[in-house]
């Protein structure tokens, strides 16, 4: 299908000059319409920085130091999100791409009813909509995310964590964005609840037709809900593939370490902690492949040359990319 978001050579840092930390490095990634892209990697690998960078919500001292984020609206020509004015950006964020942050469920306003918080979004962004239509839309949205009618006028503290999370998702969806980014949407919730909420989001995606970027530490959820998985290490995408392919047969030794020993699709919850050694220090990155000090398959070129994300020939013809010297036939992605 067609692309909705194309991230090209994106670089994001914290601070400038010698002290700068390069948290996202030369990232190339395409999200297609209707797709669920799962993004995984150890803590500090740059997942949130990538999500905030592409929506331009980076907290200071975060800066985008290069690249493009090409967005394809449902109608009209594609444009670079990094070139939008502040005013255009505010529109873009709610109407085109919505983000549900890590810990967002605690960011609801405690003094307003949840139904009011949804109608406020509509009031700000659809000023011509009637009061009646706003209320109807807000209630319909809350119903869609599974909030019972008798809870719609509750205050946030009267709701469980799971319900507050559903409200946040409802708020993110209310202007019918094409892209929804979930940054570890449910880590504070129990597994059953996480799965329920995600299943519901995926059903809504089928009905409303948006695409999802889904960031998680939880491998079972990642494999269960993603169509495509991208693995980050040290700020770079090191592998990207259809979920079934990467799970069956990872090409990058880091993905293999994360996913290879993963027991079963619906097995017990497992965090991404299965690899010996620690994540790289972004201020003193190893030379060459940043994974080489931990890689069981490291060989000659690995310590001196950085492998570029590229497309190897796959026996099953699937489109996948990897950045590893074990797959030198790769055609570079994004050049």
CB atoms within 10 A of CB 79: 16
> Which sign does the torsion angle of CA 319, 323, 329, 330 carry?
positive
Q: How far apart are CA 91 and CA 109, in angstroms?
A: 21
Q: Of 34-42, 46-54, 116-124, 273-281, which segment contacts Mg ion by CB under 5 A? A: 46-54
Q: Which is nearer to ligand ATP, 23 or 223 (CB)?
A: 23
Q: Which is nearer to ligand SF4, 28 or 48 (CB)?
A: 28
CB of 49 to ligand SF4, least distance (A): 22
48 sits near Mg ion (criterion: CB under 5 A): yes
Binding at 185: pick from ligand ATP, Mg ion, ligand SF4, none (beta carbon under 5-8 Å per type): none
Q: Which is nearer to ligand ATP, 175 or 230 (CB)?
A: 230
Inter-residue contact 164 to 108 (CB < 8 Å): yes
CB of 310 to Mg ion, least distance (A): 26
Query: In which element (H, E) is residue 54 found?
Result: helix 47-54
Indicate the DSSP class of residue 135: H
CB of 15 to ligand ATP, least distance (A): 7
Phi/psi class of residue 237: alpha, beta or left (left: φ > 0; alpha: ψ in -120 to 50)? beta
Question: Quick one: 157 exposed, middle or buried, by C-beta within 10 A (0-12, 13-18, 19+)?
Answer: exposed
Binding at 23: pick from ligand ATP, ligand SF4, Mg ion, none (beta carbon under 5-8 Å per type): ligand ATP
Inter-residue contact 68 to 80 (CB < 8 Å): yes
User: In terms of residues, how long is the chain?
Assistant: 335
Binding at 138: pick from Mg ion, ligand ATP, ligand SF4, none (beta carbon under 5-8 Å per type): none
Binding at 21: pick from Mg ion, ligand ATP, ligand SF4, none (beta carbon under 5-8 Å per type): ligand ATP
326 sits near ligand SF4 (criterion: CB under 6 A): yes
Contacts for 319-322: CB closer than 8 Å, 24+ residues apart: 319/241, 319/242, 320/239, 320/240, 320/241, 320/242, 320/245, 320/246, 320/251, 321/237, 321/239, 321/240, 321/241, 322/238, 322/239, 322/240, 322/241, 322/251, 322/252
Q: Of 5-13, 48-56, 80-88, 124-132, which segment contacts Mg ion by CB under 5 A? A: 48-56
280 sits near ligand SF4 (criterion: CB under 6 A): no
| Residue ranges in contact with ligand ATP by CB under 6 A | 14, 21, 23, 41, 43-49, 59, 61, 282
Q: Which is nearer to Mg ion, 48 or 226 (CB)?
A: 48
CB of 51 to Mg ion, least distance (A): 8
Inter-residue contact 70 to 96 (CB < 8 Å): no
- Per-residue binding letters, 288-307, with ligand SF4 (x by CB under 6 A): -x-xx--x-xx---x----x
308 sits near ligand SF4 (criterion: CB under 6 A): no
216 sits near Mg ion (criterion: CB under 5 A): no
Q: How far apart are CA 304 and CA 111, in angstroms?
A: 57
Q: Which is nearer to Mg ion, 102 or 135 (CB)?
A: 102
* Interaction site with Mg ion (CB under 5 A): 48
């Amino acid at each position: 299908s067609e692309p909705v978001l194309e991230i090209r050579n994106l670089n994001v840092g914290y601070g400038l000059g010698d002290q700068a930390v390069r948290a996202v490095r030369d990232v190339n990634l395409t999200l297609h319409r209707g797709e669920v892209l799962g993004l995984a990697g150890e803590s500090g690998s740059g997942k949130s920085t990538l999500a905030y960078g592409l929506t331009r919500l980076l907290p200071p001292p975060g800066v985008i130091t290069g690249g493009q984020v090409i967005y394809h609206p449902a109608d009209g020509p594609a444009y670079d999100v990094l070139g939008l004015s502040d005013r255009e950006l505010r529109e873009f964020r709610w109407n085109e791409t919505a983000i549900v942050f890590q810990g967002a469920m605690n960011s609801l306003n405690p003094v307003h009813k949840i139904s009011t918080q949804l109608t406020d979004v509509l009031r700000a962004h659809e000023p011509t909509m009637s009061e009646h239509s706003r209320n109807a839309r807000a209630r319909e949205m809350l119903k869609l995310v599974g909030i019972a009618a008798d809870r719609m006028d509750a205050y946030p503290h009267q709701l469980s964590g799971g319900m507050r999370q559903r409200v946040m998702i409802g708020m993110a969806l209310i202007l019918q964005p094409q892209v929804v980014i979930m940054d570890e949407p449910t880590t504070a919730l129990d597994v059953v609840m996480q799965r329920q909420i995600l299943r519901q989001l995926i059903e809504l995606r089928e009905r409303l037709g948006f695409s999802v970027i889904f960031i998680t530490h939880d491998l079972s959820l990642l494999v269960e809900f993603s169509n495509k998985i991208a693995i980050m290490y040290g700020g770079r995408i090191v592998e990207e593939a259809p979920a079934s392919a990467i799970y069956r047969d990872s090409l990058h030794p880091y993905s293999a370490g994360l996913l290879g020993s993963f027991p079963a699709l619906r097995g017990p919850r497992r965090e991404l902690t299965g690899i010996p050694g620690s994540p790289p220090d972004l201020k003193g990155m190893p030379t060459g492949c940043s994974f080489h000090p931990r890689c069981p398959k490291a060989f000659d070129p690995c310590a001196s040359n950085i492998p570029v994300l590229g497309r190897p020939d796959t026996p099953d013809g699937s489109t996948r990319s990897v950045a590893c010297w074990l797959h030198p036939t790769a055609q570079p992605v994004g050049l």
